[in-house]
Structure 1
Amino acid sequence: MITKMAFLLTCFLVSFPVIARAEEQFPADVTAFVRNAEICQYLSGEWDSSLPEDRKDALLKEMNARCTNIHVVQEKLQRKYIKNKVIELKLNTYQF
């Protein structure tokens, strides 16, 4: 008998190639946004006021490079690709 977790994992693994192929087909501007959005979210999760100053400085520098105006880029892409439901769904997964 397959457990619920094993079933869900199997479903994800079976559908992952389809998801990955859809993302590979994104236009360059959407791909660049997704990359920056993922990095931005990761960096924001790394921030901690107890970090050493040099690590905080490095994080801030990278966050400024990746996260500045990311919501503006997101809104621009949402308007540009309003008729593409796959891209629209991907863009809407990020909340800034």
Structure 2
Amino acid sequence: MKLLLALLFSGLPLLAPAQEKLPPDVAKFIEHAQMCEHFAGEWDDNDKARQREIIAAVDDSCGQAQRQWKRLAARYAKQPRLQKIIDEHANDAVRSYRKSR
């Protein structure tokens, strides 16, 4: 009986609808926005070399995400579903980024 239940429940994920694929440019934006938020939240006062790495990572990921955000917002302005996804991932770190150097 336990085996039957295990087999039944293991097949449930197959019944769930497949997650809709995003356009590659939107998926890349989401990746950069997540990295931007991650690195913007890091700080290492004790290790100056690591802090330089963090600043470079913030400049790279946040800069790319911010440029992508503006471009994608215009590109997908008439597609509410994609616009919502883009807006949800344009976190504070992306929206407020200013180059540090």
**TM-score surpassing 0.5?**
yes
**Equivalent residue number for residue 32 of structure 1:** 28
After superposition, what is the alpha-carbon deviation per residue over 1:30-84, rounded to whole angstroms, capped at 9, x for unaligned? 1111000000001101135x24101101111211221115323201101101122
Identity across aligned pairs (percent)?
21
Structure of greater relative contact order (alpha carbons < 8 Å, 6+ residues apart): 2
RMSD over equivalenced CA pairs, Å: 2.3
After TM superposition, the runs of 4+ consecutive aligned structure 1 residues lying more than 2 A away are 69-72
**Equivalent residue number for residue 83 of structure 1:** 78
Provide TM-score, normalisation by structure 1. Answer: 0.67
Larger radius of gyration: 2
Aligned amino acid, residue 79 of structure 2: N
Provide TM-score, normalisation by structure 2. Answer: 0.64
Gaps of 5+ in 2: 1-15, 96-101
Aligned length: 77
Gaps of 5+ in 1: 1-16
